[in-house]
Structure 1
């Protein structure tokens, strides 16, 4: 047994994709506070290393692994590291995702569509596939996968066809994993987050296009509450699940977007 496995044999092992910023970063930091050993995955090494170094300074355990979730080889390498270092995975938070410019569909480059789908759908599938395989074969068997969906998995914003389509696909994937995982004690949830304030969502506070065509600012919530919701699901025993959870800024236009 390797030193890493010996040091963490009693710890719960979590993987967070897109862990260098925004919701992913907040969730990773919350899971570290909850005692998880957290593998931090993302494309940019600097923010990942920043989170890992802060965790080390706090006496927590984190490992930064540069990963492109769109790339099967990169995802395979990530899970090889997880298996080699820890021997198991208890939690995957499938968070990495991108959006696209709000333009009419006919003005959207096909390359943009493909990039959104490859990141938000194929990336979620590749990580869930690898996690499912590890969780099915490890002893004790089982684990939890939490997919970051979106309000847009239910109701779109104007000119958001790639993002909306991708998040509807994630919803179907979540249900399929939840069904297919029953035999192996692999549990799957989806959290749909609305208007959590991050670096990327800050533009919403300056006004975004509404369904009736006008521009309006929208209420936001602290990203901490999104992270706390993920932590709540992560803390459940495998005998219980929250299949879908929506956590959102109370007054954002979701139930009746214009």
Structure 2
């Protein structure tokens, strides 16, 4: 159970009222955007459940208020067990950052192995759905009721790159999931938003600076931005009161191909 860390005035002006730290779950927390966002949340005083496939990178960033939970987000039994542990450890869940995702190699659809398609759907879509399902259940039944879910979309939720049908299809589907959760969450004070990210510097996007296939089938390098800009954007979304919501945010390297990508 989360321990109180601050005090403040109560609604009737009496002193003190004990305030507990806000709590969050970050999936794909061991690297890239998930790592940067987890660090930003912890620096801001949040308690964070760090979820990822490998425990070592999670332990590398965990502080005393973090919980490390190795978890395969594609396995419903494992996901439910992870969120049950989070409920026991935190008692109340304020936010899920649904971030875990994978790229597949760029190919035209006829050259894409079916296993690549299934892997992308399992992690990027099914994994996000399973984690949202578990978080929504806790937020709906906890006291006080409510919470926030932030889905990691992508520039590819709007426009594709060449040869990206598995990734692009899953990210378009994330937009549908975000809208559906926003609607279904209204009666339970559960807000849902989406952050669409373009060219944040990480291991997954290292090829951008080296050169990547463009819509005209030429290969050119693209600008990238510091991943910390994504982390601060997620933190802003997370710290809004539940009567306000960033429904969709796009944060991207300013000069990357996006508007008129094709």
Specify the TM-score bucket, using the shorter chain as the normaliser.
over 0.9
Structure with max Cα Rg: 2
Aligned to 1:95: 99
- SS of equivalent to 1:183: helix
Contact 2:182 2:191 in 1 (8 A): yes
Q: Whose helix fraction is larger, Structure 1's or Structure 2's?
A: 1
Aligned to 1:142: 146
Count, aligned residues: 249
Whether 2:14 is the aligned partner of 1:22: answer: no
Q: Structure 1 regions of 5+ residues with no counterpart?
A: none
The structure 2 residue matched to 1:170, chosen from 161, 174, 189, is: 174
TM-score between both structures, scaled by the size of structure 1: 0.95
- Report the Cα distance in structure 2 between the residues aligned to 1:118 and 1:200, rounded to whole angstroms: 18
Q: Structure 2 regions of 5+ residues with no counterpart?
A: 6-18
Alignment of 1:72-151 (within 5 A): 72-151=76-155
User: Displacement, 1:6?
Assistant: 4.0
Deviations 1:5-43 (A, max 9, x none): 445771111000000000000000000011110000000
Deviations 1:52-102 (A, max 9, x none): 1xx23xxxx111100000000110110110111111210000000001000
RMSD between aligned residues: 1.0
Whether 2:228 is the aligned partner of 1:218: answer: no
Contact 2:27 2:99 in 1 (8 A): yes
Aligned to 1:63: 67
User: Displacement, 1:132?
Assistant: 0.4
Aligned to 1:243: 247
Deviations 1:90-127 (A, max 9, x none): 00000000010001211111011001001000000000
Moved more, 77-86 or 244-253: 77-86
Aligned to 2:187: 183
